[in-house]
Structure 1
């Protein structure tokens, strides 16, 4: 459960993990306690070559 406060409104939302880098929701892998999607992993791998 995530809780947000927007001025005078409190918003409760079901927690859904997302990619730390792009915000994607699919194909997540946890690396050092951070969620990263496979698409970003592929892009990062391309930076090292």
Structure 2
């Protein structure tokens, strides 16, 4: 993993600030959600991208009544209806 050479202190509420230039490089906009992962002693932030509720795929995702469904699972559900 490559260091960006940026160090930030955690404030009294447990927050850190991601510098504007870093947010710009990774297209992190105000209001975007980030997922937090743990790997041994590392904390990893990833821009959140919803996956299919049924198979976890992140390709061709549709939202339906608060659930995320990929095109393949949607077609499979349509086939069950017939």
Q: Counting strand residues as a fraction of each chain, which structure ranks higher?
A: 1
Aligned-residue CA RMSD in angstroms? 1.5
List 4+ stretches of structure 1 deviating above 6 A.
none
Larger-Rg structure: 2
Q: Is 2:21 aligned against 1:18?
A: no
Count of matched residue positions in the alignment of Structure 1 and Structure 2: 49
CA distance, structure 2, for counterparts of residue 21 and residue 9 of structure 1:
29
Larger RCO, structure (CA 8 Å, separation 6 or more): 1
TM-score, length-scaled by structure 2: 0.50
TM-score, length-scaled by structure 1: 0.76
CA distance, structure 2, for counterparts of residue 41 and residue 10 of structure 1:
34
Q: What residue ranges of structure 2 are gaps of 5+ in the alignment?
A: 1-33
